[in-house]
Amino acid sequence: MDATRRTAVVTGALFLVTEVAAVAGLALYGPVLDGAAHVVGPGTDARVRAGALCEMVLLVAVIGTGVALYPVIRRRHEALAVGYVCGRLLEAAVIAVGIVAVLAVVTLRQDLAGGAGQAGEVAASALVAVHDWAFLLGPNVVLGANTLVLAYVMLRTGLVPRWIALLGLVGGGLICASAVAVLFGLYEQVSAPGTLAALPVFAWEVTLAVRLLARGFRVTQKYPD
């Protein structure tokens, strides 16, 4: 297996890890995200920590995709390669903020030992709000921008079939537009419209991952003008 094929396999695996970790983390965080008003109960602490662990895995995988793809993209467009790595680092940093906020809710409950009162409920709700905004900015706005950059590179260089790159452009643009809609209160982020808007970018990452694992990058001499 040559270096380029190995890079494709690693990148594809990391993209699949990001999808699994993101979905698992969101599901495990349910007790905090859905019931922040009463501060998490003792029985949910382990579940929330497991969710945080999933998001830590997500954070590492997000950075990993940027690092793994850098040498491949750099040979074709150095500026976009640097931009993509920086974008993935920013996305990971915002995700980290959300992780800290959710874990802080658990710490708050433990410190107050059941005597949270109204002040504790307000503090817990504020921390969950920090997570929600981080979730909007990281896995939505920044993810959308990163998707647009990578899909554009793939389209211009022919490293993957054209339809896959176009799916990325649609997915990246749609999730950015959805984030703006959530920002202005048109609908909730975790809602039917929000989920529908996220499906194309989910499909893009899964399709790209499967393509890279199964076939690798296309051998091409196409470069940007």
Q: What are the residues whose beta carbons fall under 8 Å from the beta carbon of 67, sequence distance 6 or more?
A: 85
Number of structural domains the chain divides into: 1
Task: Judge whether 97 lies within some domain.
Answer: yes
Q: What is the pLDDT of residues 80-130, one digit of tens each?
A: 999 999 999 999 999 999 999 988 888 887 766 655 556 667 777 788 889
Q: Quick one: which of 218, 225, 212, 144 has its CA closest to 182?
A: 144
The reply to whether 15 falls in a domain is: yes
% the chain with pLDDT above 70: 86
94 within a domain of the structure (yes/no): yes
Residue 76 lies in a domain: yes
Q: Is residue 219 assigned to a domain?
A: no
**Distance separating alpha carbons of residues 139 and 168, to the nearest angstrom:** 15
CA dihedral sign, ordered 143, 144, 145, 148? positive
Full domain range(s) for residue 178? 3-214
| Each residue's pLDDT tens digit, 197-220 | 999 999 999 999 999 999 999 876
Higher pLDDT pick, 31 / 24: 24
- DSSP, collapsed to helix, strand or coil, labels residue 224 as coil
Q: Does residue 85 fall inside a structural domain?
A: yes
User: Is 128 among the domain residues?
Assistant: yes
Determine the number of helices (DSSP H) and then strands (DSSP E) in the chain: 8, 0
Q: CA 60 to CA 128: how far, in whole Å?
A: 22
Given this model, what pLDDT does residue 225 score? 41
- Taking only the tens place, the pLDDT of each residue in 165-200 is 999 999 999 999 999 999 998 988 878 898 899 999
Residue 223 lies in a domain: no
Helix, strand, coil share (%) of the chain residues, nearest 5? 85, 0, 15
